[in-house]
Amino acid sequence: MQHPDTTALQRLDAAHHLHPFNDNAALAERGTRILTRGEGCYVWDADGNQLLDAFAGLWCVNIGYGRKELGEAASRQMTELAYYNSFFQCTTEPTIRLAAKLAELAPGDINHAFFMNSGSEANDTILRLVRHFWAVQDQPQKNIFIGRHDGYHGTTIGGASLGGMKGMHKQGGLPIPDIHHIDPPFWFADGGDLSPDEYGLVAARRLEDKILQLGPERVAAFIGEPIMGAIGVYIPPQTYWPEIERICRKYDVLLIADEVICGFGRTGEWFGSQYFGFQPDIMPVAKGITSGYIPLGAAMFNDRVAKVLKEQGGELAHGATYSGHPVCAAVALENIRILQEEHIVERARDEVAPYLAQRWAELGEHRLVGEARIAGMVGALELVPDKGRRAFFEDRGKVGSLCRDLALRNGLILRATYDSMLLSPPLILTRDQVDELFGKIWKSLDETAAELGK
Ligand SMILES: *Cc1c(COP(=O)(O)O)cnc(C)c1O
């Protein structure tokens, strides 16, 4: 039943609120869904419906909803010192402590954080500072970034240019100059007769071809998500990233792992690069760094890059009013404290992920599912017209949206990209909740199949 306030709020929303990543005309017609409360792995909407959030908000609520400690940390910091900046030889204690904590957690010699407010801004920061890094070493022409078609690195001009989504490039005249893209590693669609491991090497060597075509002296960096999230959770074969790393080292191209989704435990390791066994030079982080409780992003650099930026970079003409905001830093520290003290990442990896993988494979047996892929606590079901063949529906996206809407009616939030049903629950998901998830997805798949049969 619809609560009377809901209708009034929906009218106001339609009248005054432009939504990101929505067809706003269609949304106004349909009425937006208003969420009011969250606890653990569940959220409630304005009409009182309880929903299992198998998408953790937007890949980000890693510790689950309703942890009062984060609100208390924010409140303490706001009372003590609500704001100060990090420009002009200043900063605050939580900002310093967070930078040090991130250095301790980040793999290898990635020991330096530049704070911004989002993943997109972290990527813009990387774009500017990496070009600056090469320029101050007398290589201003080494300014090209290589990303991947269908990659996602956010929506600022830089982030959306580094990403490879055509629909995004169309709006606003992107990409900006000197950004190139190679094809993504997606064995299901592109692997042909190769084994996934053989294919991983083939897909990685597209980077070498591109570097040689452009000239290694022109290529500043390669950027990729360890697992490509937004396009449909493309999990590359294990051979892919070590080969990418080898190629980057060979041509002295900086390797950027966009850890905005994978970071802070999504794969069962703290960072996606650890899951795949490679060492990036630079990584943007956001989302899970605060479990989404407050906005924060950081660009993290290794010792080599930071040393040049410090010793030769001069004044870094970059930053934001809220770079290193003390309240955001205090909340991030509290989030990381909870992740560490409650062993949330390790418990997800050892206690829940194996069981989730088993049940995910069972979902893979459904007649609508062509592939069930999963890595730790992130996965996808690829819905297909013909289970025997690795091929998509003709009208891509229709079936995925249908399944997503049916899941919602069954009390489950899943995301659909085209016909991939995406999974990314809070890391605190229990085994019982895995069973609940399984039941709700299976039912939604059955109902989707029945609708298609009509
Ligand atoms: C979400 C995301 C971003 C952008 O982060 P925002 O905080 O939305 O700006 C960048 N990279 C990846 C891989 C993401 O998933």
Listing DSSP states for 216-282 in one string gives: GGGEEEEEE-SSB-TTT-B---TTHHHHHHHHHHHTT-EEEE--TTTTTTTTSSSSHHHHHT---SE
Is residue 359 scored above 70 in pLDDT? yes
Backbone dihedral angles phi then psi of residue 128, each to the nearest 5 degrees: -70, -45
Listing DSSP states for 386-435 in one string gives: -TTS----SSTTHHHHHHHHHHHHTTEE-EEETTEEEE---TT--HHHHH
Is residue 3 scored above 80 in pLDDT? no
Summarize pLDDT for 375-429 with one digit per residue, the tens.
Answer: 999 999 999 999 989 999 999 999 999 999 999 999 999 999 999 999 999 999 9
Atom of ligand 1 nearest to the CA of 262: 13
Is residue 207 scored above 70 in pLDDT? yes
**Alpha-helical segments (H) within 17-50:** 24-30
Mean pLDDT of 317-346: 98
Banded model confidence at residue 2, pLDDT cuts 50, 70, 90: low
Structural domains of the chain sorted by starting position, each given as residue range(s) with its CATH number in brackets: 33-66+343-453 (3.90.1150.10), 69-341 (3.40.640.10)
pLDDT of residue 294: 98
Summarize pLDDT for 13-27 with one digit per residue, the tens.
Answer: 999 999 999 999 999
Mean pLDDT of 264-271: 98
| β-pair partners for 228 | 234
Q: What's the Rg (C-alpha) of the chain?
A: 22
Summarize pLDDT for 105-151 with one digit per residue, the tens.
Answer: 999 999 999 999 999 999 999 999 999 999 999 999 999 999 999 99
CA of 240 to the centre of ligand 1 (A): 22
Strand, coil or helix: 39: strand
For ligand 1, pick from 115, 145, 153, 256 the residue to mutate: most ligand atoms within 8 Å of CB.
153
Separation of CA 122 from chain center: 13
Is residue 206 scored above 70 in pLDDT? yes
Is residue 450 scored above 70 in pLDDT? yes
Mean pLDDT of 179-188: 98
Q: pLDDT over 70 for what percent of the chain?
A: 99
Does residue 263 line the site of ligand 1, with CB under 6 A?
A: no
Atom of ligand 1 nearest to the CA of 156: 9
Is residue 221 scored above 90 in pLDDT? yes
What residue owns the CA closest to ligand 1's atom 11? 153
Residues whose CB falls within 8 Å of the CB of residue 89, separated by 6 or more in sequence, listed in order: none
- Could you tell me the two tokens for 175? 């990409």
CA of 230 to the centre of ligand 1 (A): 9
Q: pLDDT over 90 for what percent of the chain?
A: 97
pLDDT of residue 454: 84
pLDDT of residue 1: 55
What residue owns the CA closest to ligand 1's atom 5? 119
What residue owns the CA closest to ligand 1's atom 10? 153
At 208, which amino acid appears? Answer: E
pLDDT of residue 388: 87
Q: Are 113 and 98 in contact (CB under 8 A)?
A: yes
Mean pLDDT of 291-310: 98
Average pLDDT over all residues of the chain: 97
CA of 263 to the centre of ligand 1 (A): 11
Summarize pLDDT for 44-83 with one digit per residue, the tens.
Answer: 999 999 999 999 999 999 999 999 999 999 999 999 999 9
Which pTM was predicted? 0.98
Atom of ligand 1 nearest to the CA of 151: 13
| Strands (E) located in 46-164 | 50-53, 110-116, 144-148
b/e per residue 173-200 (b: at least 16 CB within 10 A): ebbeebbbbbebbbbbeebeeeebeebb
Does residue 297 line the site of ligand 1, with CB under 6 A?
A: yes
pLDDT of residue 102: 98
Is residue 203 scored above 70 in pLDDT? yes
Summarize pLDDT for 417-426 with one digit per residue, the tens.
Answer: 999 999 999 9
Does residue 148 line the site of ligand 1, with CB under 6 A?
A: no
Banded model confidence at residue 316, pLDDT cuts 50, 70, 90: very high
Atom of ligand 1 nearest to the CA of 295: 7
CA of 24 to the centre of ligand 1 (A): 21
Banded model confidence at residue 186, pLDDT cuts 50, 70, 90: very high
